[in-house]
Amino acid sequence: MSVYRSVVWFTKGLREDTKSGYESASKDFVPYDLEVQVPGIVFLVTGGNSGIGKATALEITKRDGTVHLVCRDQARAEDARGEIIRESGNQNIFLHIVDLSDPKKIWKFVENFKQEHKLHVLINNAGCMVNKRELTEDGLEKNATNTLGVYILTTGPIPVLEKEHDPRVITVSSGGMLVQKLNTNDLQCERTAFDGTTVYAQNKRQQVVLTERWAQGHPAIHFSSMHPGWADTSGVRHAMLGFHARFRDRLRSEAQGADRVLWLALSSAAAAQPSSRFFQDRKPVSTHLPLTRTSSSPAEEETLIEILEQLAQTFK
């Protein structure tokens, strides 16, 4: 089954996880879950200059939170910051220009951030889907940085997070990962025919596995991953042309896509859920579809950790 067909099937199978699905699911939402104010709470949001990341940052600042945006493009980041300040009236939003495909720059940012700031909530939102195999200046396959970048950006600040009350890490994954079994044999996509959508889905499976392993190793932090629903973001428009053309009238808004990120980051109900879970529409769901045989062994998961740790230390 192709990833595209699997995504379509997944979309239909899980209550049409689009605009209508959100409207249906939202009838069961507890309204006061997000009726919170978070002054003094520090959030770090990657990919915050557009899409779900920007919508998330805006809603946090409306609730008086302090937000650090990690973005790649200075001009777009400045524009997003100005818009968020105008709409929220909150000046406590700070920019950090970091290319998350460059592990050396991520390490530098993490080390500086730990020295200068506290952190309560990390939101790993940024991601890329490159449809042909391209390498970074360091010789890394660009899509693979979805995993290595998240690995460094999450493991680096763990000592800072563990100092705070109710620390959380939310990783924005994708329902596409449900059709992928963890594969640690070709993280740089050198041995098989390259398909950007498949590689992206594999990256998202890796993120879910990492979330589960981090939750085991760091019980003081609440880790979660989630599928934001099929939202009409620039990433979907540019990287999934066929999917967007077929479903564009049914896709969720960016704000609807951000809802479950916000719920996981802000609500006490989310913190009451066990760490490590994968969420859709404010509910934990299985990380595997029936009959797909996508479960991985502890040994395979440990191999993923070992490979990423070795790679990460190479660039430190």
Active-site positions read 200
* Backbone torsions φ then ψ of 78, nearest 5 degrees: -65, -45
C-alpha angle with apex 281: 277 to 285, nearest 5 degrees?
A: 35
Taking the C-alpha atoms of residue 28 and residue 115, their distance in angstroms, rounded to an integer, is 42
Taking the C-alpha atoms of residue 218 and residue 216, their distance in angstroms, rounded to an integer, is 6
Q: Which residues pair with 170 in a beta bridge?
A: 123, 224
Taking the C-alpha atoms of residue 269 and residue 263, their distance in angstroms, rounded to an integer, is 8
185: tokens are 């044999």
Taking the C-alpha atoms of residue 253 and residue 178, their distance in angstroms, rounded to an integer, is 22
Tell which residue, 58, 72, 160, has the closest CA to residue 114.
160
Tell which residue, 294, 296, 292, 293, has the closest CA to residue 13.
292
